[in-house]
Amino acid sequence: MPDGKTWFGRWAGDVTLPFFSDLVSRGSDEGERGREVAVEEFRRPTVAVTYARVARVIETDLGNELVLLDPETQQMYSLNETGRCIWRALPASGEGPLIDALVAAYDVSREAAEADMRRILAELLDAGLIEVRGDAAGG
């Protein structure tokens, strides 16, 4: 699976600035480059939910990355292959289909796919690019 060093970033002109240091600077001592999203903040729902793209988000596929524009906030985001795989699998009923998509695309263990899926969903949710439909009381 791609290493995630720039799977998700905020754009500023022609330069992609890392926005989510959890995946961008995994294991490094670099300074904070944006709001860190702890994996613990993304809690497993206790009931059936659907993860869905927010309708207002506009996407453009540039080949090696998927660019998302939120016209409401006027922010642009860049997803690498792993982020794009999750984005393309939406909407999804629960986590299973998203984990399955990563396992199929990258031939990784379910545990590794689940860990990456959780980080990606947490960051997409934090950015307001996806939503959870249904009763998502954490567990």
Strand ordering across the sheet containing 66-70: 15-18, 8-12, 75-79, 66-70, 58-61
Domain ranges for the chain, please list them.
8-133
**Per-residue pLDDT tens for 103-136?**
999 999 999 999 999 999 999 999 999 999 886 4
Q: What percent of the chain has pLDDT over 70?
A: 63
pLDDT at position 116? 94
Residue 9 corresponds to which tokens in the numbers above? 């970033």
What's the DSSP call for residue 1? Answer: -
Confidence grade of residue 49 (pLDDT, cut at 50, 70, 90): confident
Question: Which pLDDT belongs to residue 7?
Answer: 43
